[in-house]
Amino acid sequence: MDELLKFPDKRLLQISGFVREFDEELFGLLKRMKDVCLLNDLKGLAAIELGVPKKVILFKKGEEFIELINPTIYFHEGFVTISESDETIPGAVFEIRRYEKIKVMYYDKNNNQRFLEANGEDSYWLQRKIDLTFGGLLFNRLPKKEAAKFLKNYRSETSCPTYFVKDRILTAAKIGILLQTVLFIAKLLGAKTSSLVELSAVLNAILLIAYLIYSNYETKKYKNCTSCQAANALGTFALFGITVLVIFVLNIFI
């Protein structure tokens, strides 16, 4: 089954070409598009969302799919600013200026010229998909400064950094636990390090709590980075936390 492309996949930036041949290849593409729409419960999609740079859009109106080949907006009326989102940029919402009403000229799969009038949500959706055939994503409709700000923030949330703060905190905690262990052993050998063991236990507990909190934060921030997931953070916290607690308790009673 085809997978939907998502930004920052560069294939979405391709400009789709006009369909010249109304043949079995086109019919196969339309079937693939319909299958993906049904599987993902979509209102429709542009062929470029499957990585096929052709001016083909599938649009579900009511219970039927309309196949728009080489669609062109040749009439529009009114303007409105709306909140828009799209499956090509998951989780992002934009304030976009759109035509309130449009009329689209297109061809059906049998190469017959047809026309479609749309207003409201249907109009906005069609404009969004036609934009995709020109390599235009939602942020391309924003003023340059807003688009640049979005890209900067989006990339920081969806790309993996070279290091994670949580890992550095955990390294510090490991060193602290090692020091706590050494101090406890020194106490067993007769050194007066009991108060230092207690102090190191408190500092290690603070570091472990900070690790757990920051691990959760980085998991939410870097959603698409599998290496920063915090699935084992609680287990790591518990493992080292128990070690700190056991040494602390032994230090009191021995």
* Domain boundaries of the chain, sorted by first residue: 10-146, 165-253
Neighbours of 138 (CB within 10 A): 21
Give residue 53's Cα distance to chain centre. 23
The enclosing H or E element of 94 equals: strand 94-107
Q: What is the pTM of this model?
A: 0.62
For residue 36, what pLDDT is reported? 95
Q: 157 versus 212: which is more confidently predicted?
A: 212
Report percent pLDDT > 70 for the chain: 91
Which pLDDT band, with edges at 50, 70 and 90, does 55 fall under? Answer: very high
Q: Is the model's pLDDT at 196 over the cut of 70?
A: yes
Which pLDDT band, with edges at 50, 70 and 90, does 101 fall under? Answer: very high
For residue 153, what pLDDT is reported? 79
Q: What is the dihedral of CA 217, 220, 222, 228, to 10 degrees?
A: 70
For residue 230, what pLDDT is reported? 52
**Residues facing 82 on adjacent strands:** 96
Mean pLDDT (the chain) is 90
For residue 228, what pLDDT is reported? 47
Which pLDDT band, with edges at 50, 70 and 90, does 8 fall under? Answer: confident
Q: Tell me the mean pLDDT in the region 146-153.
A: 87
Amino acid at position 215, single letter? S
Which pLDDT band, with edges at 50, 70 and 90, does 78 fall under? Answer: very high
For residue 225, what pLDDT is reported? 54
Which pLDDT band, with edges at 50, 70 and 90, does 165 fall under? Answer: confident
For residue 161, what pLDDT is reported? 56
Amino acid at position 148, single letter? A
For residue 63, what pLDDT is reported? 86
Q: Is the model's pLDDT at 218 over the cut of 80?
A: no
Q: Is the model's pLDDT at 173 over the cut of 90?
A: yes
CA-closest candidate to residue 107, choices 42, 169, 177, 56: 56
Structural domain 10-146, CATH architecture: Alpha-Beta Complex (3.90)
Most confident of 39-43, 99-103, 145-149: 99-103
